[in-house]
Amino acid sequence: MAVNTKMFETEVKIQKAFIQLLQQEGFGKVSVQQLVKLAGISRGTFYLHYFDKYDLLNHYEDEIVSHVNSIFARFPKSLTQNGQVKTSHENNAFFQLFKYLYRQRELAALLLNESSTQLVGKVKQLIVAVLRQGDGDVSNNSGQVPSEYAQEIVSQGVLDIIIYWLNQNPVSLPEEAYHIFRQTRLLTPEQLTRQIK
């Protein structure tokens, strides 16, 4: 039990140091030497956990992707009918996504903004998979916009909202962000444009 506690404490130190250095330097300039110094651990301890800084980055990406995937597996995208949500927001995959990302806001914001990561693409694929669950009847599709364009527009829009939200200072609560997100899903681009001042 003591070994697990020590490992957890080391992981927390490494993550805090990684976040601080990513904010200050950007991933390209972060070195293992800086990480261990700031975390207050030895290089040997770092290498017990990770091969190098790229392995550390992949670990954080995979951890976020795994949690998002788990959320989307457990909580369906709410179906809408005439603009009305048919499930409570607590049972909605996107609300749960906002809650999780809020808890991980510093790391998530940094990784979603960092050009060295593949997190945006990975999360986007998960969003596309959830969107493909559909809002019910797809036979209403008039075919005016090819499916791949519609998929790109909607999934990128979801990501843009998430990234914009996480970059705010302070980051608003997930309930507020989810409410705004829901509104953007119900309004046409023309209606949204009229709200710009």
Please determine, for residue 17, whether its predicted confidence score (pLDDT) is greater than 50.
Answer: yes
Average pLDDT score over residue span 20-43? 95
Instruction: Give the Cβ contact number of residue 96 at 10 Å.
Output: 21
Q: What distance in Å separates the CA atoms of residue 122 and residue 53, rounded to the nearest whole number?
A: 19
Per the rule left: phi > 0, alpha: psi between -120 and 50, beta: everything else, 102 is alpha
pLDDT band (50, 70, 90) for residue 137:
very low
Q: What is the pLDDT of residue 88?
A: 67
pLDDT, one tens digit per residue, over 57-112 is: 999 999 999 999 999 999 866 544 444 555 567 888 899 999 999 999 999 999 99
Q: CA angle 23-65-43, nearest 5°?
A: 50
Per the CB < 8 A criterion, the answer to whether 12 and 54 are in contact is no
pLDDT, one tens digit per residue, over 154-179 is: 899 999 999 999 999 999 999 999 99
Q: Which letter does DSSP use for residue 169 in this model?
A: S
Per the CB < 8 A criterion, the answer to whether 114 and 26 are in contact is yes
Per the CB < 8 A criterion, the answer to whether 74 and 32 are in contact is no
Question: Between residues 60 and 187, which one has the greater pLDDT?
Answer: 60
Domain annotation for the chain: domains and CATH numbers: 1-50 (1.10.10.60), 61-194 (1.10.357)
Q: What is the pLDDT of residue 75?
A: 85
Instruction: Name the phi and psi angles at 84, rounded to 5.
Output: -100, 130
